[in-house]
Amino acid sequence: MAESSEFPLNEGTVRFADLVPIHPQCTGNSRGVVDLDAEFTIVEPRWTPTRSVHRPAAAGGFTVMGRRRRGAGPGAEYRCRTAELLIAHAGRWRVSVGDDGRDGSVELGIGDVMSVPAGAIRRVERLDEVDGFLFVVRGSDEHADDDLAIAGCAVSPQGDLLAIRSGQWIDDSGGIPVLRTLRAEEPPTGSSRAAPQAARWVCPAGAMQADIRSAFDATGVAEAFVIGPDVTTAGSASDRAGIAGRHGFSLRLLTLESGAYVPAHRRAEPFAYLLQDGTLEVRSSAEASLLGAGDVLSMPPGLEHALRNTTSRPTRVFVVLGADEPSPPDFASRPLPGRA
């Protein structure tokens, strides 16, 4: 495995308090009720100067975004060209699937995860008045800039297109509105009418239990397999809940009790830590980055690093790995400087 020993951790760290939104998304219904959400592109494999991206990630795997809403209210219907994960970081949310929610809806509380297949229409709604925030993880492909095919009203990533319910775009960049489609092969793969029950796409926070297959299994450390082709579902022999299937990436939940640590190790894939709650110290060589709730740290493959919970309360961190079937971690044979 190639080692990326020169990567500065602080450059890969995106602070929750420092997030800057991209062009705000138009929310509400198609009859003119409009409000503004804030949307953030935190990590993207293919960075371009036209996008407000906080951190270019290592090539391939996934895109990490964020969505914030202040106060209750509905969002626009939309669909994606890739699988999309919704991770409830703060607040309560309702996700309706299918045109006008005809395929059902589910409610997400803090720490719950929902996977929506490519092409399925969905609407995300805030249920309480406190500030809410979702981590959004999408698979990446060669059309990363065009992965949104809005079914309601939205502004395109380039900021010059508006979408209508047919999935076409109104191009107003030349001063005269012109209809055009995102791709010649519209509509995108998948069908909202054929979608299974929305509840089957949800992994509740309380069901994410330690998996004995984890290489991190140790005193004070637990890893739950949340998303991936080898994930087992609740009611199986292992009684571990998750969402099975190929997304182009996988998702784990790592829990460290007070004082617990994970020794120095490397990954074969690009990955990112999404701090759900608590505090996590990530150390590589002589450098350390301290993450708080809502912070994101993206890292390239091959970087030797160790983890530690330095506080008196448990730490929970979602780990996005840039492969459906990631390789086991490669534990270093020597401790990092300053570590026993």
Low-confidence ranges of the chain (pLDDT < 50): 3, 24-36, 48-52, 59, 141-173, 177, 180-196, 234-239, 335-340
At 193-212, the pLDDT tens digits run 334 467 778 999 999 989 88
pLDDT of residue 273: 96
Quote helix, strand, coil % in the chain, to nearest 5.
Answer: 5, 40, 50
Are 158 and 212 part of one and the same domain?
Answer: no
- Tell me if 1 is assigned to some domain: no
Q: What residues contact 241, with CB distance under 8 A and at least 6 apart?
A: 203, 204, 207, 208, 209, 233, 234
Are 132 and 250 part of one and the same domain?
Answer: no
Structure tokens belonging to residue 151: 């079914």
- Tell me if 165 is assigned to some domain: yes
At 144-174, the pLDDT tens digits run 443 444 433 343 443 333 444 344 444 444 5
Are 167 and 150 part of one and the same domain?
Answer: yes
pTM of whole model > 0.85?
no
pLDDT of residue 197: 61
- Tell me if 185 is assigned to some domain: yes
Are 100 and 46 part of one and the same domain?
Answer: yes
- Tell me if 38 is assigned to some domain: yes
Structure tokens belonging to residue 157: 């990533």
Helix (H) or strand (E) holding 163: strand 161-163
pLDDT of residue 282: 96
pLDDT of residue 54: 60
pLDDT of residue 336: 43
Are 289 and 175 part of one and the same domain?
Answer: no
Question: What is the DSSP track for 293-325?
Answer: TT-EEEE-TT--EEEE--SSS-EEEEEEESSSS
pLDDT of residue 23: 55
Are 181 and 248 part of one and the same domain?
Answer: no
pLDDT of residue 232: 63
* Residue 216 belongs to domain with CATH number: 2.60.120.10
pLDDT of residue 71: 78
Are 255 and 307 part of one and the same domain?
Answer: yes
- Phi-psi label, residue 142: left if phi above 0, alpha if psi -120 to 50, beta otherwise: alpha
Q: Are 4 and 11 in contact (CB under 8 A)?
A: no
Domain of residue 221: give its range: 206-331
Are 98 and 21 part of one and the same domain?
Answer: yes
Are 52 and 171 part of one and the same domain?
Answer: yes
What's the number of CA atoms in the CB half-sphere (13 Å) around residue 204? 7
pLDDT of residue 233: 55
pLDDT of residue 57: 52
- Tell me if 7 is assigned to some domain: no
Are 75 and 144 part of one and the same domain?
Answer: yes
Question: How many domains are there within the chain?
Answer: 2
Are 257 and 189 part of one and the same domain?
Answer: no
